[in-house]
């Protein structure tokens, strides 16, 4: 039972990060009750108590607010059964049922996280469960408790290591197919990162987080830092306070319908030019469908959707790491002839509000004359009138936020500058839109990849100009050019606000930062080569090994590997059977004979313990009593085992110490 309770604790602990915390006290209560039953201080629960426990568990599940059916609800229900089952373990069959449920739960946890640390913890859980299975199936009475634990764990590790070659072959050769069924995840689960709306104060919240957003490996030359604009969403609708994609909110399924109908991607509207940038990106779990690419991504490999604003979007919200391969042409001209629908979106403004900003736009537009001159004039205003770039901007209220920023506070983050710039463009009759995503990233020299974090979140704009199409304009560069050239940390260095709320962040401690990057390199390798091993990677690997692929060639190669694994198992099992473990009393007697041999009393192979003791006592009279007692205790263990062999073994160790 102690093995089972330990295995239950190990298996259930990682679920507490994702499921209700009251599961832990339930497990501890069940363990306490079961230990009292073992000690004779309590009785097995009756049917009435079992029904009451089931009712309380289901009631707690309902009060937790988990949606049913969902992954969280099903996992919580299974964990309750896993915990309660130990209360009625009487026969070996009951214990095996508990252990097999534990194996299933180890696999289930990978639906929540597929990180390298989760995989290592899963291996530890498998060892403990297998050790419990060994302990349930056999008990060696000669072993002490500590010896039994060590023996069971060693055997569990040995058994799992034997499975390793088979696991690797199955991983490499098993077809990569989509699941036949799925359980919906809980609503709003693990939603992090960029959202589909932007109000003053939203993006700076991300700027205070050092969580990873995605990693990128470039297949050629890495673009310069100021060219790394990772587009995610385009925000067209402004209601006077916040920017959204459209004038109404869409869920993921409605948005997919819109993208495939009136807002679909039309590649013929691009005039591809310039040098390509090929890369692979691995996006972290976010609970959002947004993917971030260098715009425009002309070639994309992956199950994605494309939009008229050149976005790339996953089919579903990301509840697992997602690999995307893309080729972008940043110098491409887009929408040189602007469709009327997009023009209407890019000119929309509220009918009232922000009067001072509208008047400013009309005045500057009249002074400038041309569109490019007007853009330059607005950027010059940001630069010349002491606007400040800060992670801690003041509140602007709920109305006339553009006026409050442009004329009163003049302190803001990238969202303030992008939103007010687009407002001024539209007020002057120039199509413009807000783009949100990430800018820059941290280069990892050890792993040769770019790590983009939440603090790299950024907002910029696109302005449509006749003959040029959509042109990127980043008004933040007029105030804080270091933000784009060197990153957020340098841009806000003077005010000391970078990760101010994360005092213990490894990013801020130099000696920890190096370790963090090394660990991140290992984690990225896991993401890229294990979690990213899809059908394309599988085909490429097999082709590199076998050349031209055919069913017969793959089957023959896989069959050979399976045969090699079978031979390996036979050899491993044969060697294991030849190596019988030496009992502790025999090991101590061997050390006893070796110690006496150093003193001149050598035992011949045919000498019985009693005869040898007599000869050794005559040769070493000073140790005669110790020699006789050691031999008596040893013979007693061998021929008349005592009730508690540990006491006799300890006595042998004490006597051996006197001889040495």
Catalytic machinery residues = 414, 458, 474
Can you list the positions of beta strands (E) in 350-479?
388-389, 411-412, 432-439, 442-444, 449-453, 457-465, 469-473
Whether the link from the prior residue into 355 is cis, omega within 30° of 0, is: no
The rounded distance, in Å, linking the Cα atoms of 311 and 454 is 19
Cβ atoms of 436 and 194 within 8 Å: the answer is: yes
Backbone φ and ψ of 588, nearest 5°: -65, -35
Helix, coil or strand: residue 435: strand
Do 242 and 467 contact (CB within 8 A), yes or no? no
For residue 636, what are the contacts with CB-CB under 8 A and spacing of at least 6?
Answer: 642, 648
Name 464's bridge partners: 470
Q: How far is CA 634 from CA 137, 563, 585, 602, 652, in A?
A: 30, 47, 7, 18, 7
Running DSSP on this structure, what letter comes out for residue 482?
H
Query: What region does 26 belong to: left with phi over 0, alpha with psi -120 to 50, or beta?
Result: alpha
Q: Where are the alpha helices (DSSP H) in 13-137?
A: 23-38, 47-63, 71-85, 92-108, 116-137
CA nearest to 256, candidates 219, 310, 307, 194: 307
Q: What are phi and psi of 442, to 5 degrees?
A: -105, 120
């Amino acid at each position: 039972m102690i093995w089972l309770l330990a295995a239950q604790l190990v298996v259930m602990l990682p679920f507490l990060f994702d499921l209700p915390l009251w599961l832990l006290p339930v497990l501890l209560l069940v363990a306490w009750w079961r230990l009292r039953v073992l000690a004779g201080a309590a009785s097995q629960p009756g049917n009435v108590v079992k029904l009451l426990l089931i009712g309380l568990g289901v009631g707690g599940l309902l009060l937790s607010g988990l949606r049913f059916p969902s992954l969280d609800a099903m996992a919580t229900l299974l964990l309750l059964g896993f915990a309660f089952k130990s209360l009625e373990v009487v026969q070996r069959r009951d214990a095996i049922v508990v252990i097999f449920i534990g194996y299933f739960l180890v696999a289930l946890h990978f639906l929540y996280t597929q990180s390298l640390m989760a995989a290592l913890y899963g291996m530890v859980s498998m060892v403990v469960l297998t050790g419990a299975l060994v302990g349930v199936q056999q008990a060696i009475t000669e072993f002490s408790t500590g010896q039994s634990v060590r023996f069971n764990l060693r055997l569990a590790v040995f058994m799992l290591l034997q499975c390793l070659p088979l696991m690797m072959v199955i991983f490499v050769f098993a077809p990569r197919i989509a699941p036949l069924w799925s359980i919906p995840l809980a609503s709003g689960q693990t939603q992090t990162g960029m959202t589909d709306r932007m109000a003053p104060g939203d993006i700076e919240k991300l700027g205070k987080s050092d969580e990873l957003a995605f990693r990128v490996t470039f297949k050629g030359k890495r673009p310069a830092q100021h060219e790394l604009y990772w587009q995610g969403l385009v925000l067209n609708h402004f209601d006077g306070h916040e920017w959204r994609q459209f004038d109404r909110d869409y869920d993921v399924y409605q948005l997919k319908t819109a993208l495939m109908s009136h807002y679909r991607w039309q590649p013929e509207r691009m005039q591809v030019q310039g040098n390509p940038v090929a890369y692979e990106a691995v996006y972290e779990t976010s609970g959002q469908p947004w993917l971030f690419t260098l715009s425009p991504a002309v070639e994309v490999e992956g199950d994605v959707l494309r939009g008229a604003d050149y976005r790339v979007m996953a089919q579903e919200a990301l509840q697992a790491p997602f690999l995307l391969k893309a080729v972008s042409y940043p110098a491409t001209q887009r929408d040189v002839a602007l469709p009327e629908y997009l023009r209407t979106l890019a000119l929309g403004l509220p009918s009232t509000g922000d009067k001072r900003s509208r008047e400013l736009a009309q005045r500057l537009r009249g002074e400038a004359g041309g569109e490019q001159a007007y853009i330059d004039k607005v950027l010059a205003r940001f630069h010349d009138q002491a606007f400040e770039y800060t992670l801690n901007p003041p509140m602007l209220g709920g109305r006339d936020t553009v006026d409050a920023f442009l004329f009163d506070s003049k302190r803001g983050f990238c969202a303030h500058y992008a939103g007010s710039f687009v407002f001024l463009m539209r007020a002057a009759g120039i199509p413009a839109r807000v783009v949100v995503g990430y800018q820059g990233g941290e280069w990892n020299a050890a792993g040769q990849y770019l790590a983009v974090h939440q603090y790299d979140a950024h907002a910029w704009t696109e302005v449509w100009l006749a003959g040029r199409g959509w042109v990127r304009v980043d008004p933040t560069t007029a105030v804080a050019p270091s933000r784009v050239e060197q990153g957020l940390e340098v841009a806000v260095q003077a005010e000391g606000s970078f990760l101010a709320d994360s005092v213990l962040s490894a990013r801020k401690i130099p000696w920890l930062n190096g370790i963090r990057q090394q660990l991140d390199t290992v984690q990225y390798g896991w993401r890229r080569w294990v979690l990213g091993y899809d059908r394309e990677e599988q085909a490429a690997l097999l082709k590199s090994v076998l050349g031209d692929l055919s069913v017969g060639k793959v089957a023959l190669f896989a069959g050979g590997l399976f045969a090699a694994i079978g031979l390996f198992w036979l050899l491993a099992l044969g060697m294991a059977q030849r190596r019988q473990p030496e009992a502790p009393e025999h090991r101590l007697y061997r050390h006893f004979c070796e110690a006496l041999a150093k003193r001149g009393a050598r035992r011949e192979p045919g000498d019985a313990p009693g005869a040898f003791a007599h000869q050794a006592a005559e040769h070493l009279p000073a140790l005669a009593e110790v020699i006789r007692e050691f031999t008596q205790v040893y013979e007693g263990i061998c021929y008349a085992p005592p009730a508690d062999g540990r006491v006799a073994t300890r006595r042998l160790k004490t006597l051996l110490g006197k001889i040495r």
